[in-house]
Every structure is written in structure tokens, then in C-alpha cells.
Amino acid sequence: MTTTKYKINELFQTIQGEGAFTGQPSIFIRLQGCPVGCSWCDTKHTWEIDPNLIIPSNDMLTKKQESEHWSHLTADEMANIFSQQGYKAKHIVITGGEPCMVDLTPLCDTFERLGYSCQIETSGTFEILTTERCWVTVSPKINMKGGYAILESAMQRANEIKHPVATEQHVDDLKKLLLDHNVKHTPIYLQPISQKQRATELAIQTCIDNNWRLSVQVHKYIGIE
């Protein structure tokens, strides 16, 4: 049993829509807090940690819309919620916000002992503290408002690198990052920042030119969370 409490903005079951696990039934754990400052972020409600916005877990589970309210939960409490909610998925995606602001080892260790697989989605700007078995998706956020650098340790720990693109500059930034950190064999996924045709066409052509892979945020196309 672990007593470590995590700041949880959302907890829900769905289908993973991005990267290597696209199509995988998954339980998403969305943590509160992120200082990175991505301009296109679609979860800005997770950025600030306001202790006045703590709510009971039942209220967090039944939120009807995105909000900055969050709950304090241990891994064991989350596992109990999974059971109570009747969740069937055995893959867990820990996202945010920026989940690696905290040590995720106790969280992943608990779930792995219960038979779940774990995946972390991170910007690569904080040390990744987790179990050896955990799948780490680094979505490097380069030159963002928060001023955080992409860490060498994060790039080397990544099981996949999933990069948002809308312009040629984003592609150039990624190529420089891969070169700077000597990344050669990690699978690379390009993800159009929007569903707009220009961004998608750029991502497709770049994937073909570099033998990379495409991630199209399937959940947005089919209209699920």
C-alpha cells in the first residue's frame, strides 16, 4: 500500500487515440499542474494548482465539463475507483498537465502489481521517475513559454517520441533535437497540431520522407474523450 497522493483532474476509461497504443482500451489519469506553457494546449485547465479547488473524488468523476477542480488520491484509492466504475481496460495512461513533475514510481508500481500496464505522456522537461516496465511517450515541447529545456535523460528514456507539428519549423526543431541527443532508434510519431489539411499533409509527407510514423489523434476524429 502506498500513501503517496496525486493531484487528479480527470480519471476516465476510453480508447487511446495517439501513438504506439492507438486503439488500445485505456484508463486515463490526468494529473493537475503544468508550467510548460504550450500555446496550442487543449488541457489548459490543468495548468494551475489551486488548493481552493480540491473536490471529492465522486465530484471529480462526474464533472460535466473541463474545469480546474481536482482531487487528491492515492494509487490504491484510484484502483478502488476502477473497480467501482466497472472499468475493463488494463492499460493506464498517465498524462496531464505535466505528470513528471512528481515521482510516478509508486503509482506505476502499484498498478503493475495489480496487472495493469502503464504509459506516461510527458513533455520531456522534467526527470522521468517511474518503473522500468512503464512505457514512456515523450512529446517534446521545444521553446515553450515556460522556458523549460528538453532533458537528455528524458530523450534517452523515451520508448516513443511523439511530436506535434503544424509548420516546417516544427519539423526542423525535431530534427535538431534528435541530432543533439543522438536519438537513432526510438520510434518517431508526427502528430498534426490541428485537424487542418495543411498540417496533416505536412505530417504525412514528412513521415514518408523520414520513415517516421503518423499519429492523427483518432479520438478527436471519432468524437470521444
Q: What is the pLDDT of residue 195?
A: 74
Does 113 carry a binding-site annotation? no
Does 59 carry a binding-site annotation? no
5-15 and 25-31 as β-strands: parallel, antiparallel, unpaired? Answer: antiparallel
Task: Residue 94: name the closest of 10, 35, 215 by CA.
Answer: 10
Does 146 carry a binding-site annotation? no
Does 19 carry a binding-site annotation? no
Does 15 carry a binding-site annotation? yes
Does 99 carry a binding-site annotation? no
Spatial distance between the Cα atoms of 69 and 155, rounded to a whole number of angstroms: 31
Does 40 carry a binding-site annotation? yes
Higher pLDDT, 99 or 147: 99
Does 100 carry a binding-site annotation? no
Q: Is the pLDDT of residue 221 over 70?
A: no
- State the chain's mean pLDDT as an integer: 94
91-95 and 25-31 as β-strands: parallel, antiparallel, unpaired? Answer: parallel
Helix, strand, or coil (residue 31): strand
What is the pTM assigned to this prediction?
A: 0.94
Does 34 carry a binding-site annotation? yes
Does 42 carry a binding-site annotation? yes
Please state the CATH superfamily assignment of the domain spanning residues 5-163 in this structure. Answer: Aldolase class I (3.20.20.70)
91-95 and 117-122 as β-strands: parallel, antiparallel, unpaired? Answer: parallel
Does 141 carry a binding-site annotation? yes
Does 97 carry a binding-site annotation? yes
Q: What would the pLDDT profile of 75-120 be if each residue is shown by its tens digit?
A: 999 999 999 999 999 999 999 999 999 999 999 999 999 999 999 9
Does 47 carry a binding-site annotation? no
